[in-house]
Amino acid sequence: MIGSIENLWEDMLSRNPARIIAVFQALSEDDQTLVIQHLKLMATDKGWHPEQRFSADSALKAINDFRNKSNLFS
């Protein structure tokens, strides 16, 4: 279960792959899609602080790595 939206984003932007994947897996498929869309925006939009952009990019990498590993076993 996910706590507050603030906790979700704290975990998602933590740069800690285990925290990122744990919170990502707890989301519904629709929410996962929304989070990925927002992370992509954060990672590429110049309006975000460079550290936020780096954290978003790190989260996207962790999610992609997780999905690629999961696909190997399905």
pLDDT digits (tens, 9 = 90+) for 1-54: 567 999 999 999 999 999 999 999 999 999 999 999 999 999 999 999 999 999
Report how far residue 57's alpha carbon sits from residue 64's, in angstroms, rounded to the nearest whole number: 10
Angle, vertex CA 14, rays to CA 9 and CA 17, nearest 5: 110
Per-residue confidence (pLDDT) for residue 15, from 0 to 100: 98
Report how far residue 40's alpha carbon sits from residue 48's, in angstroms, rounded to the nearest whole number: 11
Spatial contact of 53 and 43, defined as CB atoms under 8 Å apart: yes
Domain range holding 62?
5-72
pTM as predicted: 0.90
Domain count, the chain: 1
